[in-house]
Amino acid sequence: MSKIAADGLYDCVSFLLVRDGQMLLERRADDKELDPGKVAIPGGHMENGESELQALARELEEELSVTAKDSRWFCALLYRVGSETQRLHYYLIEEWDGDIMALEAAEVFWHPMDDPSVLDIEIDRQALRELERVRAILSVR
């Protein structure tokens, strides 16, 4: 069951896997209720009783079959989609264990970080701009 905050927002985690100047993106499945078929940064809803880090670990396993070796929060943004307002907690992941597989998305693929135009969702493009802004603080490779 999705976690709904006291303020009526749905808390979600989004995970930006990065390697060699590229980011892992997903093309959402056409049967998804929210943003079907769109190219996005992967993520998912937090469940009741979960912390952000617990949700992050669960969603990484459910969606990509990987475990993060490190994760760094870099921003939280609000996103209105359908009848739902989401609070997206974005995490940067540069090291992980496991072989990436698309378990819920139509496909996942690597794309250059310096070209956010492929993203269909504006809030994900905004998250990339925020990552660029705080890059020196986070010591992103």
Q: What is the CATH number of the domain that holds 60?
A: 3.90.79.10
DSSP at 54: H
Find out whether 91 and 14 touch, Cβ atoms under 8 Å.
yes
pTM above 0.85, yes or no: yes
**Is 15 within a domain?**
yes
Enumerate residues 6+ apart whose C-beta is below 8 A from 90.
Answer: 13, 14, 15, 16, 41, 73, 74, 75, 76, 77, 127, 130, 131
Is the pLDDT at 90 greater than 90? The verdict is yes
Residue 76 lies in a domain: yes
DSSP 98: S
- The pLDDT, as a whole number, for residue 3 is 62
In a domain, 110, yes or no: yes
Question: What residue numbers bound the domain in which 88 lies?
Answer: 10-138
Q: How far apart are the first and last CA of the chain?
A: 36
Q: Is residue 59 part of a domain?
A: yes
Number of domains in the chain: 1
pLDDT tens-digit map of 28-79: 999 988 889 999 999 999 999 999 999 999 999 999 999 999 999 999 999 9
Work out the average pLDDT over 93-105: 97
Q: Look at residue 2 and tell me if it is in a domain.
A: no
Distance CA 17, CA 15 (A): 6
**Tens digit of each residue's pLDDT (9 = 90 or more) over 111-126:** 999 999 999 999 999 9
pLDDT at 141 over 60: no
The answer to whether residue 133 sits within a structural domain is yes
The mean of the pLDDT values for the chain is 92
41 domain-assigned: yes
Residue 1 inside a domain? The answer is no
